[in-house]
Amino acid sequence: MTYGTGNPPVAISAARAIRSRQELRSALEGPRREGVSIGLVPTMGYLHEGHLSLLRAARVECDLVVMSLFVNPAQFGAGEDLNRYPRDEERDLRLAAEAGVDLVYAPPVEAVYPEGFATRVEVGGGLTDVLDGDPARRGPAHFRGVTTVVAKLFNTVGPDVAYFGQKDAQQVAVIRRMVRDLDIPVRIEVLPTVREPDGLAMSSRNAYLDPRERERATALSRALRAAEETARAEGLAAGLAAAGAELRAAGVEPEYLEARDAENLNPVAESNGRPVLIAVAARVGGARLIDNVLIKP
Ligand code: AMP
């Protein structure tokens, strides 16, 4: 097997989905013995430029790039969009190959959660019971689903580096905590949110938006830009107020719109020299959208 950034690039069966953990492990065994660096990009597929930015970074930095493609039922709540989550594996495999991915791991649900599966990996406390994990909203079960599957992926792939998007800022904080707490030997790389030209954060769920909703959805990024500008000039409270006004003007009711310490997600009134995350979630038509901005001191 050939892999890596070699020039000229040598294609391996990049566009073939590997379904079993055993097959993936044996594909990685030789390279690992040779000491190549392995990058992992976990995704739920329906790839867009946000995913591709992670794949490209992995391609540049690692000898061998693994992309996982798995719509993880454990992170969807009852009544959420698991059954209609957009899927197009053929296109994903093509785009992954074009981005230079070496191996795509796309296991069936039964392979990840076989009969008798009973273990959960849970990051407790203030990282998972606020914002997206607020019990009155999506609930901490969402992150339990995320950390359980990401821990399994880390165990299966054994990556040196794993790539995540700042778009899911709370997910990043939770995964960093899990990696530290469980001594998982992986470096977490976080890349900036990739946006459409009009500011909308790219998301597989944008596919749910009809043209009018798509237009309204731009209010989220507009609100965050207003929040950042106003917060820098007049403080966080004014920033949040400015963001709220943008959302209201577009008829978008936020599920949450909050300023939090970027690392521990504690509520903050002012930045006090630490990075602050302003995060928003809102339903626009049939899509539940999230976005955030990181305000560095
Ligand atoms: P998903 O397929 O939505 O689970 O996302 C897989 C990875 O891509 C996660 O680490 C996300 O944070 C990241 N991601 C999703 N959307 C974007 C975006 N617009 N910009 C950067 N990364 C993203």
Residue 148 CA: distances (Å) to CA of 17, 123, 151, 156: 22, 10, 5, 12
Residue 186 has which token pair?
Answer: 């992986």
Residue with tokens 């946006």: 195
Q: How far is the C-alpha of 186 from the C-alpha of 182, rounded, in Å?
A: 11
Given a contact cutoff of 8 angstroms between Cβ atoms, the answer to whether 259 and 235 are in contact is no
pTM value is: 0.95
Residue 216 alpha carbon to ligand 1 centre in Å: 21
Q: Look at residues 265, 282, 252 and name the one whose alpha carbon lies nearest to residue 169.
A: 265
Ligand 1 atom 11, closest CA: 165
Q: Indicate the residue type of 31.
A: P
Which residue in 3, 51, 143, 293 is the catalytic one?
Answer: 51
In this structure, the residues whose C-beta lies within 6 A of any atom of ligand 1 are: 43-44, 50-51, 53-54, 164-165, 167-168, 191, 193-194, 201-204
Q: State residue 3's pLDDT score.
A: 59
Share of the chain above pLDDT 70, in %: 95
42 C-alpha to ligand 1 centroid (Å)? 9
Sign of torsion over alpha carbons 196, 199, 204, 205:
negative
53 phi/psi in degrees, rounded to 5: -65, -35
User: What pLDDT is recorded for position 15?
Assistant: 63
pLDDT value, residue 297: 87
Q: What is the pLDDT of residue 12?
A: 47
Task: Give the containing element (helix H, strand E) for 75.
Answer: none
**CA of residue 185 to ligand 1 center, whole Å:** 22
The one-letter amino acid code at 187 reads: R
51 is catalytic: yes
Whether the link from the prior residue into 107 is cis, omega within 30° of 0, is no
Residues lower than pLDDT 50 in the chain: 5-14
Closest CA to ligand 1's atom 15: 50
* CA angle (78 as vertex; 76, 83 as ends), nearest 5: 65
Q: Sign of torsion, CA 252 254 258 264?
A: negative
- Of 293, 132, 131, 294, give the one whose Cα is nearest residue 224: 293
Q: Which mutation among 89, 167, 179, 288 tests ligand 1's pocket best, with the greatest number of atoms within 8 A of CB?
A: 167
Nearest alpha carbon, ligand 1 atom 17: 50
